[in-house]
Amino acid sequence: MRATWPFAIAAHPECRGHDPFPGHPERPARLDAALAGSAGLGGDLLEVDVDEARALRGIAPVHAERYSARLAEACRAAPGVFDSPDNPVSAGTYRAALAAVACALAAVDAAASGTASRLWVPVRPPGHHALRDRAMGFCFFNNAAVAAEAFLAAGIGPVAVVDFDVHHGNGTQEHFWERSDAYFLSVHRYPFYPGSGAGDEVGSGAGRGFTRNFPLAAGAGDAVYSAAVDVGVEEIVAAARPAAWVVSAGFDAHRDDPLGGMGVTEAGFAAIGRTLCDAAAKTPVVAVLEGGYEPKALSRAVQSFLSTLAGADYS
């Protein structure tokens, strides 16, 4: 008998409110594409309340005290840039970033309560480059780190954080660098933006050995990319036995993506989803959208990934 773990989606229309200048690759159409990719998979849509106070409490373990206020101030003065030329802001950017955090927290709530065990969080702006006190790489709040911290705060740990975006998740790595309650795995193109993610970056102090990077050469396709995820996930299970999984699901390694320079197809993303589903088994998985900048390719890749992540036979 083929069983499907309860699958749910945490999304909010305010994530469209981040509207960079015309032609910017991180545009609102990405949200529509990511939602379209999950259509027809039978997921329940979670109710998400964009409560600023709750979102800020979720952000507090990840970002510096004044960081959120600085972003809000920049958005009130929009248009402009925040911290980096890669991070233009519009009047709706702050609320969009809060909505992304709210969706990640709602997904963790659903996982912690047993409402669902496979959760898709199609949000923007993305988050994995965001540092404690600095935005970069299109990212403002680190949604994946927020989700991992929420699991830990709920007493669900250790947490595995798996990042398969074509760009290294430097912000997430930095956050957990000296931690042993979260295992961070990143598979990415290297050398490439943001410049970090070499194989010898393994964490330090109590966190030494709890960071694992698989840097791949430009052009890597399905076999290489999915094999790297396979090996990394095997190492996580052996080292940490996670009680929950957070996935930085970036789809800019797709062969049609204008920024990534890789050769992954829908079959490769399906293989990654299957690996994560098998490894997680009965433990929850929260997958948060990161990159993916060609809307049609993004939609197809999301559908392939979620179709295998959300279903498996563990009866």
Active-site annotation, residues: 129
Q: Which residue has the tokens 């809000």?
A: 72
- Maximum Cα–Cα distance for the chain, whole Å? 57
CA dist 160 → 77, 108, 151, 218, 310 (Å): 38, 14, 10, 26, 17
Whether the CB-CB separation of 110 and 119 falls below 8 Å is answered with: yes
Q: Please name which of 185, 190, 304 lies closest in space to residue 254, comparing C-alpha atoms.
A: 304
If DSSP states are collapsed to H, E and C, what string results for the chain? CCCECCEEECCCHHHHHCCCCCCCCCCCHHHHHHHHHHCCCCCEECCCCCCHHHHHHHHCCCCCCCHHHHHHHHHHCCCEEECEEEEEECCCHHHHHHHHHHHHHHHHHHHHHCCCCEEEECCCCCCCCCCCCCCECCECCCHHHHHHHHHHHCCCCCEEEEECCCCCCHHHHHHHCCCCCEEEEEEEECCCCCCCCCCCCCCCHHHCCCEEEEEECCCCEHHHHHHHHHHHHHHHHHHHCCCEEEEEECCCCECCCCCCCCEECHHHHHHHHHHHHHHHCCCCEEEEECCCCCHHHHHHHHHHHHHHHCECCCC
